[in-house]
Structure 1
Amino acid sequence: MTRQEYLSQIWKSYPAMPAHSKAAGRIYQIERDGESLKLILQRDQKTHKIQFEKAPPYSEFLIEGDLVAVVSSEEILLLAPQKRSLPRRQFDPELLKTWNVYVQGLRDFFTSQDFIELKTPSLVVCPGTEPSLDVFSTTLKVGSRTQKLYLPTSPELHLKKALALGAEKIFEIAPCYRNGEVTERHQPEFLMLEWYRAFDNLTSIKKDVENLVHTLTKLLKVPGPRSVKSYSIAELFKSYCDFDLRPDTTKEELKKLAEKLQVDVRSADSIDDFFFLIFMEKIESKLPPEDLIFVEKYPPYQAALARLTEDGWGDRFEVYWKGLELANAFHELNHPEIQRLRSAEDLEKKKDLHKEVVSLDEEFFECLEAGMPPSGGIALGVERLFMAMLGKERISDLRLFPL
């Protein structure tokens, strides 16, 4: 009799787990010696040795990879045969346990300070207007009505609506989606932690970041940052590029700087491109990885959704540690007319970059026009911070099912 004949004629296909069994798991190794049989079963990342002086009936048809239950010294129940190889994925329970402790630690940090956790939609009319981002879209169908919806690149717009509606200290750990991003540090789906403080500014948000990193490194028993440093963009351009960056520095000036520094800017078109390429090559890659670094006061064309300071800089900061950009914070813009103008500029930039031009969320502007309080807000990559703390190089290492 062959194994295939046994499976089709004798085996009771896919039985339930027996009420009483001595052991169960996937066969890792089979050793046969005359009438005796030794099985090494694998379960929960552990191995168990089972010895039979006399091999149970039909055990000759078992192979490595089968799932079995040892019912007695005379019976092995085949639960599920391995008919093909498993996908090349690795289940790491210890890493997942650490991840669960970490995510719970994030929640505990904010709830202990009386923040309220929100849940915003995963189907939205506007995913965000950031020019460089590609989006995922779908179509809602209700009877004869159809509407284009998107997966959010950030929960920001809905969290700001909540601020206008009366929320003051809020946070969310939200799944976010960005098309076209699969690298060692990017996945199309990832978790974003965003939190906001109404009637406040970036001073409190910066303290939150320091305290959060300290709390989580202590919780996971891993080394924290060597020190905490803050630099303005202008200071970094002076230190690393010997260039006096001003709020009104022109595209031509940045282009000349790139040529002087031998930065490849052949792909650059806008002033944002020149700024980004110089910053990436000459500054960001040189920041000391051991320090938690706040990079503050961006040029006005990099202000995004931030206010401008009195001296003309975008009032925002980014956070770096272990060579990773962890977070992006804003002294939030709450002026409806300026916000609408910037959103329109973003859509024009999207069009120029041949990106999908998305619709705007009119309810968001309705909330701004009704009055959103001055606020500090931040978006932090949940996987990114975990990677920094555990020294992981690839975001895919944290996932059981990465793309």
Structure 2
Amino acid sequence: MRHPHRRIPLAGQELIRDEATVPAAADWRPGASLETLRQRARLKRRLRESLDAREWLEIDAPALIDSPDFEPNIALFRAALPDGSPAGSLHSSPELMMKRLLAAYPELPGAYYLGPVFRANETGRRHNPEFTMLEWYDTGATLDAAIATTLELIQSARRALGVADAPVERRDYGTLFRRHLGLTPYHADRDALASAARAHSIDVANPEGMDRDDWLDLLMSLAIEPRLDPTALTVVTGYPASQAAMARIEARSFEGREITVAARFEVFGGGLELANGYHELTDPDEQARRLGDAGSGPRSSSQQRFLAALAHGLPECSGVAMGVDRLLMWLTGAEEIDAVLPFSARRI
């Protein structure tokens, strides 16, 4: 899953790098202070303790996969054999393997992965191409239950680091767009979204290549997220159905009109995205259709095995991915991800 925001080049940039500065080549020291590294270890320990207490199973997911290409907005690191032939890619999420695990062992109350994932072309103030993800699947959980678990984990992490619980706010995606941009994200066309971006002085390098969801992601990231309460945990629900390739779809109404939304939420610490969760899609036929719509070629072996697992039967579940480095940034007040990592990409 997850971390869904798309990497959209702004005008004057080859790709978004969050205006990161590059240290001198002689800067050999870790980016994180010793105290921050201790906090990092304490945070990971608390997360594991919290999930182990639920009797969830921690699993190791393979880092090298067969390059499933159903996440068109995520660039993968490609691996090669010594002779130059393709050997797969470094994984950007353990999702497919974890769902196969639950399909095989539906009696598990839950499972989680805590470890590195990889996204190419993501280097900057809030991004590192290798980052630590906590991803979990809670058997039988509704979306509301997944939200409750996510908030409980974050508040527990705050207490482990000696920080008081944060206030929690619930916000609707459509209402945020109406309040801050004066439009509805479910019905506004490309031109209206582009006009809203220009009104907020957001310029992109290639506007002709932007679709509706690109504009929605950009406006959410640059015009709305910075306005969220910096002291609060904000839960946002009601994302458009087009923004959840592996989540259920729900019918609702907004401003008197029928809409479809994804059974999905995001949690923000201030304006920093921390977690993204789905009420997972279990219908193998619908999932196959969505993979076909998103993919650019024949299905990989891992995709075929994943669909076979769904056909066998994935239990009702919700899944959540949380960026551990992002969480530590928010807990410590760090402005850059480099400050919470031992060695970010710019120090290697």
User: Which TM-score band applies after superposition, normalised by the shorter structure?
Assistant: 0.7 to 0.9
Query: How much has 1:120 moved relative to structure 2?
Result: 0.9
Equivalent pair of 1:198/1:374 in contact (CA under 8 Å): yes
Query: How much has 1:259 moved relative to structure 2?
Result: 5.2
2:204 and 2:341 mapped to 1: Cα distance? Answer: 35
SS class of match (2:64): coil
1:86 and 1:281 mapped to 2: Cα distance? Answer: 34
Q: Name the counterpart of 1:339.
A: 287
The answer to whether structure 1 residue 330 and structure 2 residue 330 are counterparts is no
The answer to whether structure 1 residue 164 and structure 2 residue 103 are counterparts is yes
Which of 123, 126, 149 is residue 182 of structure 1 equivalent to? 123
Query: How much has 1:165 moved relative to structure 2?
Result: 1.0
Which of 1 and 2 has higher RCO (CA within 8 Å, sep 6+)? 2
SS class of match (1:235): helix
Q: Name the counterpart of 1:276.
A: 217
Q: Name the counterpart of 1:13.
A: none
SS class of match (1:393): coil
Residues 1:219 and 1:139: Cα distance change in structure 2 (over 3 Å): same
The answer to whether structure 1 residue 231 and structure 2 residue 171 are counterparts is yes
The answer to whether structure 1 residue 398 and structure 2 residue 340 are counterparts is yes
Kindly report the root-mean-square deviation, in angstroms, between the aligned alpha carbons of the 2 structures: 2.5
Residues 1:140 and 1:216: Cα distance change in structure 2 (over 3 Å): same
Q: Name the counterpart of 2:314.
A: 372
1:228 and 1:194 mapped to 2: Cα distance? Answer: 22
After superposition, residues 63-78 of structure 1 pair within 5 angstroms as none
SS class of match (1:383): helix
Residues 1:176 and 1:358: Cα distance change in structure 2 (over 3 Å): farther
Query: How much has 1:97 moved relative to structure 2?
Result: 1.9
After superposition, residues 175-254 of structure 1 pair within 5 angstroms as 175-225=116-166, 227-246=167-186, 248-254=187-193
Equivalent pair of 1:164/1:367 in contact (CA under 8 Å): yes
User: Larger deviation: 166-175 or 98-107?
Assistant: 166-175
Larger strand proportion, structure 1 or 2?
Answer: 1
Letter in 1 for 2:181: C
Which of 131, 135, 155 is residue 94 of structure 2 equivalent to? 155
Letter in 2 for 1:254: L
Query: How much has 1:114 moved relative to structure 2?
Result: 1.5
Unaligned runs of 5+ in 1: 1-84, 352-356
1:138 and 1:87 mapped to 2: Cα distance? Answer: 29
Query: How much has 1:113 moved relative to structure 2?
Result: 1.5
1:351-401 Cα deviation digits (max 9, x unpaired): 9xxxxx984621111101111122111000011101110111111112232
1:122 and 1:162 mapped to 2: Cα distance? Answer: 16
After superposition, residues 277-292 of structure 1 pair within 5 angstroms as 277-292=218-233
Q: Name the counterpart of 1:39.
A: none
* Rg larger for: 1
1:299 and 1:265 mapped to 2: Cα distance? Answer: 22
Query: How much has 1:228 moved relative to structure 2?
Result: 0.5
Query: How much has 1:251 moved relative to structure 2?
Result: 3.0
Residues 1:259 and 1:388: Cα distance change in structure 2 (over 3 Å): closer
Query: How much has 1:122 moved relative to structure 2?
Result: 0.8
1:95 and 1:266 mapped to 2: Cα distance? Answer: 37
The answer to whether structure 1 residue 316 and structure 2 residue 264 are counterparts is yes
Q: Name the counterpart of 1:96.
A: 37
After superposition, residues 1-20 of structure 1 pair within 5 angstroms as none
SS class of match (2:131): strand
Query: How much has 1:262 moved relative to structure 2?
Result: 5.5
Equivalent pair of 1:307/1:314 in contact (CA under 8 Å): yes
Query: How much has 1:304 moved relative to structure 2?
Result: 2.4
Equivalent pair of 2:55/2:109 in contact (CA under 8 Å): no
Equivalent pair of 1:173/1:192 in contact (CA under 8 Å): yes
SS class of match (2:250): coil
| Length-normalised TM-score, structure 2 | 0.81
| Percent identity of paired positions between Structure 1 and Structure 2 | 30
2:189 and 2:142 mapped to 1: Cα distance? Answer: 29
User: Larger deviation: 215-224 or 188-197?
Assistant: 215-224
Unaligned runs of 5+ in 2: 1-24, 253-259
| Length-normalised TM-score, structure 1 | 0.70
Residues 1:140 and 1:336: Cα distance change in structure 2 (over 3 Å): farther
